[in-house]
Amino acid sequence: MKIAIGQINPRVGDVAWNLKLILDQTHKAKGSGCELVAFPELSLLGYPPRDLLDFPQIVDENLRALENIKEASSNICVVVGYVEKNSSSTGKPFFNSAAVFYKGKQIANYRKWLLPYYNIFEEERYFESASETVCFKINNKNIALSICEDLWNEQGFVTRLYDKKPIDALSNLKIDLVFNLSASPFELGKNKTREKLFQQVSKKLKAPVIYCNQVGANDELLFDGSSFVMGENGKTAQAKAFEQELLVWDSENSKPQVNAPELTEAQSLLEGLSLGIRDYLDKTPAGSICLGLSGGIDSSVVAAIAVKALGPNRVFGFAMPSKFNAAQSLEDAQKLAQNLGISLRTLPIDRIYEAVKKELEPVVGHSLKTLTLENTQPRIRMTLLMAIANEEGHLLLNTSNKSEILAGYATLYGDTAGALSVLGDLTKHQVYELAKMINANKEVIPRRILERAPSAELRENQTDQDTLPPYDILDSLVVGHVEGLKPFTADVWPKIPPETLKKVSHLNSISEYKRRQLPPALRVTSRAFGMGRRIPVVGRKPTE
């Protein structure tokens, strides 16, 4: 039996666009001789729809689209995720469902059992849980359905959260294949976890598991696709990561059909973040982006990723030097722009900076504090960048990284500004690793940028380490505290000086109000600043 996995990139709320993707892939699957094609979780509406579900017309449009899919199923079976209304007078208003069409009829309907409500997930807010197994037959194959979380309630995964176990219900049935329609967000290392899980499920059910995942980016969430077919002895087919694809698998072919290369961490970051930028612009839609190029590592990496995502003609760089910037910073920014093939315009900020000092000092009655003067500079730069963005129709990219964000080493309405944060879930170490990956084949980011000590260049001879601990220490604390929920205590970090722990703990605690005002940050780890993280701004923090 030839089966197609429709790894598509839906647009949240754009039913017409998503329907076209589904119909196009269905047509291709027919042309490839497939008897069945499956699409991801909620593929008609896109995932996550969130409060778009409060608008009845969007849900109704998704239901009407099922009729078009029914018509397309005359000589192929189509499995598609959609939002189903709950006709009961009790419970949540919708089901997260999968419909099966064959020969112009709907032959099966499945409703998701396990509704995640943790981290970035909030499905219990909208959907009612179900508890019925559903199988259907095609070409004498008994095929079972599941949706994403339904197969994650296995030992070692998310068992604590649920008292239902769809896998146990399926294990009582004789089945030949199990479909898992998913919208599983990307995290570094998550694909290995998925493979381990689904191999465990395949052994338990004694049947191959077909994992069909969404690809693309919706706001800060990245979806890598990476759909596969998993048997008891390992993968027998694998789709590419971060690309839309129709993967065809022949169940009668015993040879593994695994052609997609396995990506390194840096490659995954580069592909995922460039997809995040591209989809943010194309789904918004917006024509182009702008960003400040300081000659530093963060803005250089963001510019390179943006060019990979959009091409050089949609990326506009601006250098805004002050008297505190070394001459080599502008030289490096110019060299970077030349290497990337993007325009770079220069707007010195000294006259504006001096004018601000002149106007403010009589108001406050004394010379401005050093910190005030430092923060004034990035705010001037962002005012200029936002004015240019307004005038020329760009979106502004933010270039702050996760290490700086934890320590509050970013000026509110300055470094924190922008429509999208590209590096907001990456430590400084990961930014450097990404730079090395970008330079793997030729020097794109000038070598001097990688070798110079990082500096905000807001006063004479400044470096980041004047204010922050060395980045190898800070980065380990960022990962341990944000992703591992470890406290800043000496018993947890015996090799780090107590005064450093106290300082980072304090900086983290007093910076929550800044993080609340950050742009959406593309998410690449299990815990990011932003969506899914709900720390109060006021009140005592566990780190205090």
Predicted local distance difference test score (pLDDT) of residue 74? 94
Domain 2-262 annotated CATH 3.30.428.10: no
- What is the three-state SS of 469-512? CCHHHHHHHHHHHHHCCCCCCCCCCCCCCHHHHHHHHHHHHHCH
How many residues in the chain? 544
Whether the bond between 321 and the residue before it is cis, its omega within 30 degrees of 0, is no
The dihedrals phi and psi of 296, each to the nearest 5 degrees, come to -100, 170
Average pLDDT over the chain, rounded to an integer? 95
290 and 394 in contact (C-beta within 8 Å)? yes
Q: How far is CA 443 from CA 298, 328, 433, 449, in A?
A: 16, 17, 14, 11
Predicted local distance difference test score (pLDDT) of residue 472? 94
Q: How far is CA 147 from CA 10, 70, 198, 206, in A?
A: 17, 20, 13, 19
Q: What is the pLDDT of residues 19-58, one digit of tens each?
A: 999 999 999 999 999 999 999 999 999 999 999 999 999 9
Q: What is the pLDDT of residues 247-277, one digit of tens each?
A: 999 988 867 776 788 899 999 999 999 999 9
Question: Does the pLDDT at position 219 exceed 70?
Answer: yes
Structural domain boundaries in the chain:
2-262, 269-516
Predicted local distance difference test score (pLDDT) of residue 543? 63
User: Which residues are known to be catalytic?
Assistant: 41, 112, 148
**Residue 238: helix, strand or coil by DSSP?**
strand
Which amino acid does the sequence have at 341? G
What's the helix, strand, coil split of the chain in %, to 5? 40, 20, 40
> Which residues make Cβ contacts (< 8 Å) with residue 438, sequence separation at least 6?
270, 301, 304, 305, 444, 445
Tokens 């191959």 correspond to: 208
The dihedrals phi and psi of 146, each to the nearest 5 degrees, come to -150, 160
DSSP notation for 16-59: HHHHHHHHHHHHHHHHTT-SEEE--TTTTT-S--GGGGG-HHHH
Dihedral of the alpha carbons of 231, 237, 240, 243, in degrees to the nearest 10: -100
* pLDDT above 70: percentage of residues in the chain: 99
228: tokens are 């596969």
Q: What's the whole-model pTM score?
A: 0.95
Predicted local distance difference test score (pLDDT) of residue 255? 74
Distance CA 543, CA 47 (A): 34
Q: Return the CATH class of domain 269-516.
A: alpha beta
